[in-house]
Structure 1
Amino acid sequence: MSKNEIKQLIARRTEKDGLTDTGIAGVRTFRATQAIPCVPAVYDPCVVAIVSGAKEAVLDGHRYVYDDSQYLCCPMSMPVKAGTPNASSENPLYGVFVSLDPHAMSQLALEMENAGGVLPTAVGELRAQGIRLSKWDDGFTEALLRLLHLGASHTDTAVLGEARLRELYYAILKGEAGKSARQAFGAGNAIARSIAHVSSHLDEPISIDDMATRAGMSRAVFHRRFKQVTTMAPIQFVKSMRLNNAAMKIASGMTVNEAAIDVGYVSPSQFSREFKRMYGQSPRQWSEGNQLPVGVA
């Protein structure tokens, strides 16, 4: 019943396709009534929960399809392809996008550890920590419903928003994705820190040696550990982050040259070659044929 209440709340408050602010920082609802193919995107730390329909995300060839039985948890910035291939006016997709605040998640994970809370072990925890699908358990469902109920009152949202969001974070850390999320936000996760640095410095030169040094690892150890966590080699990850960001910027109206420079490319010809190799189209063809779908997150 709670999931149906969440769906009804979203439907009542959503007048058009795309993302809708709830008034709670980092929490947005979304609707899609038309099919959107999987297109390049970058997921910053977030949870995406679907209450009607299904979504897809693809990370390095691994396809994740999720609906109201599982939510997606992405505790680190990841270059993905995402879409809603099956959405239609007859079968609309409704969902919630929740940004995960690194400081709040880290603090809460530490408090849980100090309190003796044992988090569930994730199957295959050394592989693809960048994305996890987690079962919609009662704790997550009730916490999300309580959070979304605040949208009916500005006063309630202002007074209780932070506490209700913390309650949802707690449910996430206790769920099936909890262990990988704690690892990502833990003080000792050098890979997550390296990814956060890359994500915020794409317009600067990035070398694997520098990434390894920042992580306090040898190049060989860093390469192996990075691939365990993300399924990608570091150089492939950096390239995917740059090109996905560029594709989104171009689809949003930025010129090809501006987008290339914005994500760290100094050679337009190199950017064009790598873009076409990644997406099968030149940047200009992409610019003419693609418009960033609202609500693709």
Structure 2
Amino acid sequence: MSKEDIKQLIAQRAVQEGLTETGISGVQLFRATQAIPCVPVVYDPCIVAIVSGTKEAVFDGQRHVYGDGQYLCCPVSMPIKAGTPEASLATPLFGVLISLDQRIMAELILEMDNSGAHSAASHRIPPNQSIGLARWDNSFTEALLRVLQLGDSKTDTAILGASRLRELHYAILKGEAGEFARQSFGPGNAIARSIAHVSSNLGTAISIEDMADRAGMSRAVFHRKFKQMTTLSPIQFVKAMRLNNAAMMVAGGTSINEAAFEVGYVSLSQFSREFKRMYGQSPRQWAETQKSATGLRLQREI
């Protein structure tokens, strides 16, 4: 079993640009044959694994470029910039997007703790990062291939899909991303729960006091722990989540007024000022730029 087998499966099934469903909840294949510069996106908790080509993710000034030697782990919803700057017909990008299941991860962490199991000790992702790269290992490769092989049979997928997806989550927890993922899915993940609440309620008023209360912390302690985990202050994080979501909506054809309202802005002028400060373009200029961009659907989704 090898990455080449995984690549062949993806190439056979992902025949169009963008995402292709596998029939297994939370597992999607993708391909890109056009270069796409880094643009604002929001990653929900996920793993992005590349088997051909390279992909790029940028957060808080840190640039992560990865191919088939590492996979990207994003254990909480994060506002980042992502792109496929080197994809082409000659060098296509093939990969897998795996949504991380909160229930499966929490159950496995508890079982691993009870059994005394630990994740890989070497080259761990630094604890104060919001996204990170982990090395492909044999366990991850084999578990991912076993998941993708289910696509050959709807019956196998229905009967074995849940167990093989659990096996894949276990491989992630055993690997270099394991300790990193525990920050969000293990006991004491109050900051991760706060981020999940923010991500689901961008259209409502969000105060730092409310976020701290939900985490069961004082404002000062919450601010410090939040910044340790995300590198951003709570206010910076909420603003970035709102603006990245708005940028994606505008790029997809939503009106500027509607996008601003949907992510919680009541003042269009404030939205325009903060949008231009963040991206260097007004919302209207951004919309015009994205109308002429190619491969937009792919970038908005992965």
Alignment TM-score, normalising by the size of structure 2? 0.95
Q: Which residue of 1 aligns with 2:296?
A: 293
Local SS of the residue matching 2:156: helix
Q: Which residue of 1 aligns with 2:277?
A: 277
1:126 aligns with 2:93: no
Q: Which residue of 2 aligns with 1:192?
A: 192
Local SS of the residue matching 2:296: coil
Q: Which residue of 1 aligns with 2:183?
A: 183
Deviation (angstroms), 1:237: 0.5
Q: In the alignment, is the contact (CA less than 8 A) between 2:143 and 2:164 conserved in 1?
A: yes
| Partner Cα distance (1:103, 1:86) in 2 | 36
| Partner Cα distance (1:259, 1:165) in 2 | 35
Q: Which residue of 1 aligns with 2:83?
A: 83
| Partner Cα distance (1:66, 1:125) in 2 | 17
Q: Which runs of 5+ in 1 are unaligned?
A: none
Deviation (angstroms), 1:119: 2.6
Deviation (angstroms), 1:133: 0.6
Q: Which residue of 2 aligns with 1:33?
A: 33
Letter of the 2:82 partner, please give it: A
Percent same amino acid at aligned positions?
A: 68
Mapping of residues 165-244 of structure 1, within 5 Å: 165-244=165-244
- Please, which moves more after superposition, 284-293 or 206-215? 284-293
| Partner Cα distance (1:30, 1:123) in 2 | 27
Q: Which residue of 1 aligns with 2:159?
A: 159
Deviation (angstroms), 1:126: 3.2
Mapping of residues 235-274 of structure 1, within 5 Å: 235-274=235-274
Mapping of residues 43-122 of structure 1, within 5 Å: 43-120=43-120
After the TM superposition, list the runs of 4 or more consecutive aligned residues in structure 1 that deviate by more than 4 angstroms: 121-124
Deviation (angstroms), 1:259: 0.6
| Partner Cα distance (1:232, 1:92) in 2 | 34
Count of residues in correspondence between the two structures: 296
Alignment TM-score, normalising by the size of structure 1? 0.97
Superposition CA RMSD, Å: 1.3
| Partner Cα distance (2:213, 2:237) in 1 | 17
**1:193-250 Cα distance to aligned partner (Å, 9 max, x none):** 1101100010111111211121111212111111111111111000000000000011
| Partner Cα distance (1:118, 1:85) in 2 | 36
Deviation (angstroms), 1:155: 0.6
| Partner Cα distance (2:16, 2:198) in 1 | 34
Deviation (angstroms), 1:116: 1.4
| Partner Cα distance (2:151, 2:124) in 1 | 36
Deviation (angstroms), 1:123: 4.2
Q: Which runs of 5+ in 2 are unaligned?
A: none
Q: Which residue of 2 aligns with 1:42?
A: 42
Deviation (angstroms), 1:45: 0.3
Letter of the 2:102 partner, please give it: P
